[in-house]
Each structure stands twice: as structure tokens, then as C-alpha cells.
Amino acid sequence: MSQSQPPPRTGTVYLVGSGPGAIDLLTVRATRLIGEADAVVYDHLIAEGVLGLARADALKIYAGKETSKHSMPQGELNLLLVRLAREGKKVVRLKGGDPFIFGRGGEEIEILFEFGIPFEVVPGVTAAAGCAAYAGIPLTHRDHAQAVVFVTGHLRDGTVNLDWPALARPNQTVVFYMGIGGIGEICRQMITHGLPATQPAAVVQNGTSSRQRVITADLSTLPSRVTEAGISSPALIIVGTVVSLQKKLAWFGARVSSGGQEVRD
Ligand code: SAH
């Protein structure tokens, strides 16, 4: 008589932040878990080369772009994670940046909790931290900003519904994620709610990668500068007087000569 196989022990799902773009900004913990995973379920904003760290025999499943029609519906994706874990697999759910900052990480693990699937969360370098560091824009600075706000600039029905009076306060830095499509409206609202038109503001595209581009201007000129430069997603908007430090502090992609002049490679 053949003995029936015992059901596999439920695997764990690791919700892992992969950082903003540069592969060496992965945490040591993320690198180890990706290398050990039986299945890696990944999003579109994953640093190049990260999947190469997974085992050759690991399942690699693209969950797609959240805003695109070709993405896996969120419900289907949640059930996929549950199914893989129930098969006993060690699952890495890989997210760009940090999973708990505009990454819907909370929603995904709520479902795992409901299904009784064990999970762990591995933080990553969020785009604001990565872009600010690689652009040379400190997000706080004793002379400039005592607070920093991360906010979504995603447009709903063509408008950005945000607490503008709070965002337009002085002495803080505001970082808009997903705001590039609404940059005109964002800059206009910041001025309407009290910031000077000359308030320094920047856009960082593909931050931390070799394709990083940084545009610095002010609230009145940033939208047209961004259009002229053909900047598209992924990009962050940073508003605050800390942006004025970028001229001195930019280091990535530039060698600074002893005279303080920037030399591009
Ligand atoms: N969880 C992610 C954010 C996901 S929302 C994190 O913590 O970073 C996606 C938005 O993040 C993009 O629209 C863009 O505004 C920003 N973003 C992500 N990676 C970026 C990068 N390398 N450079 C600039 N912006 C980036």
C-alpha cells in the first residue's frame, strides 16, 4: 500500500523592498532572501539585475505595473501569493523602494494574515531617500527644513486632492511620489497656498541608477523645464529650500575639481 504524502508545510511570504534602482542598495537581508527563494513575484520598478540574484530554478513571476491594463489584478495576485505559500514555497514578493511606502504592501499582507500565511517584511531604501542622497539634496537641514513629508501626487479625475495649506508650510521639504503627470497642478497649488514662486524645487528621474537625471528650478519654472527635458516616470518632485544645496552637494555622476567646479564624465 502506498503511503500518502503529508501535505507540505505552509511556506512564508517575504515582502521585500528592493530599493530605488541601484542593485547595491539592496539590503543584505533582501539579497539573502532573494537567493534562497523558491518563487519571486516582482513589480515593474525593480532594480536591474536583482532577479539575477534568484536561483536559476526559482519561479519568477511578473506582477506588472499597478496602473497598467496588463498588470495582474490585485485580487489575483493576493491569491497567487497564498497558493504559492500553501505549496510550501519560500516566496519573495519583491517591491520597488520600501514596501510600506506607496507600495500597497500593507494591503497584500492583510490578505496573508486573513489566510493564516506566515509573512515577514523587509524594509528597503525608499525612492525619496535614494533620490535625495544621489542628487545631493538633504531632505532635512538645520538651516532649511525641520520636517519632511512624503505624499502621493497621483491624479484622480485630473486633480490632486491634497491638504495644500499643510504642504505649503515653510521650513519643510515635500516629496511627491507619482506626481510627474500632475506637476503643473502641484506647483500651481503650492504657490496658491503660500509658497513663493521662487521656492526651489527639483525633479529626480531614475534616481540612483546610471540613467539618473536631476532638474532643479523653482515652482514657477519647474513644469516647463521638465517638459522641455522630456522627463517621464519614475520621477520624484522635491519642493523646499534644501534644493538650493544641490549645486554644492551633487556628487553622483560628477567629479568635483579642487576649484569646486563640476566636471562631467
Ligand atoms: N514603494 C516605492 C514607491 C512606489 S510608488 C518606494 O518606496 O520608493 C512609485 C513612485 O515612486 C514612482 O512614480 C516615482 O515617483 C517613485 N520612484 C520609484 N523609484 C524611483 C526612482 N528610481 N527615481 C525616481 N522616482 C522613483
Residue 94 pLDDT: 96
| Residue 178 belongs to domain spanning | 127-264
Ligand 1 binding pocket includes 132 (Cβ within 6 Å) = no
Interval 41-57 mean pLDDT: 90
Residue 146 pLDDT: 97
pLDDT band for position 262 (cuts 50, 70, 90): very low
Q: Is 181 helix (H, G, I), strand (E, B) or coil?
A: helix
Q: Would you say residue 4 lies in a domain?
A: no
Interval 124-129 mean pLDDT: 98
Sequence length of the chain is 265
Buried b (16+ CB within 10 A) or exposed e, 223-254: bebbeeeebeebbbbbbbbbbbbbeeebeeee
Say whether both 109 and 146 belong to one domain: no
Domain count, the chain: 2
> Does position 264 have pLDDT exceeding 90, yes or no?
no
Q: Strand ranges (DSSP E) for the chain?
A: 13-17, 39-43, 59-64, 91-95, 119-122, 147-152, 172-177, 200-205, 213-218, 235-239, 254-256, 262-264
Say whether both 233 and 116 belong to one domain: no
Span 188-221, pLDDT tens digits: 999 999 999 999 999 999 999 999 999 999 999 9
Residue 135 pLDDT: 97
Q: Would you say residue 245 lies in a domain?
A: yes
Residue 5 pLDDT: 77
Residue 246 pLDDT: 96
Last residue of a domain, one of 122, 153, 177: 122
> Does position 256 have pLDDT exceeding 90, yes or no?
no
CATH number of the domain to which 78 belongs: 3.40.1010.10
Please report, rounded to a whole number, the percentage of residues in the chain having pLDDT higher than 70: 92
Residue 2 pLDDT: 53
Ligand 1 binding pocket includes 235 (Cβ within 6 Å) = yes
State the distance from the centre of ligand 1 to the C-alpha of 41, rounded, in angstroms: 18
State the distance from the centre of ligand 1 to the C-alpha of 212, rounded, in angstroms: 13
Say whether both 117 and 137 belong to one domain: no
> Does position 111 have pLDDT exceeding 90, yes or no?
yes
Which atom of ligand 1 has the smallest separation from the CA of 98? 7
Lowest mean pLDDT among 71-75, 82-86, 215-219: 71-75
Say whether both 133 and 247 belong to one domain: yes
Is residue 139 within 8 Å of 175, Cβ to Cβ? yes
Is residue 180 within 8 Å of 231, Cβ to Cβ? yes
Ligand 1 binding pocket includes 236 (Cβ within 6 Å) = yes
Say whether both 240 and 134 belong to one domain: yes
Residue 4 pLDDT: 73
Strand partners for 246: none
> Does position 103 have pLDDT exceeding 60, yes or no?
yes
Nine-digit cell string for 147: 520636517
CATH number of the domain to which 175 belongs: 3.30.950.10
Say whether both 97 and 204 belong to one domain: no
State the distance from the centre of ligand 1 to the C-alpha of 97, rounded, in angstroms: 7
Q: Would you say residue 3 lies in a domain?
A: no
pLDDT band for position 158 (cuts 50, 70, 90): low
Q: What is the model's pTM?
A: 0.91
Out of 45, 148, 154, mutate this one to test ligand 1's pocket (max ligand atoms within 8 Å of CB): namely 45
Residue 265 pLDDT: 33
Identify the CA nearest to 17 among candidates 178, 127, 132. 127
pLDDT band for position 69 (cuts 50, 70, 90): low
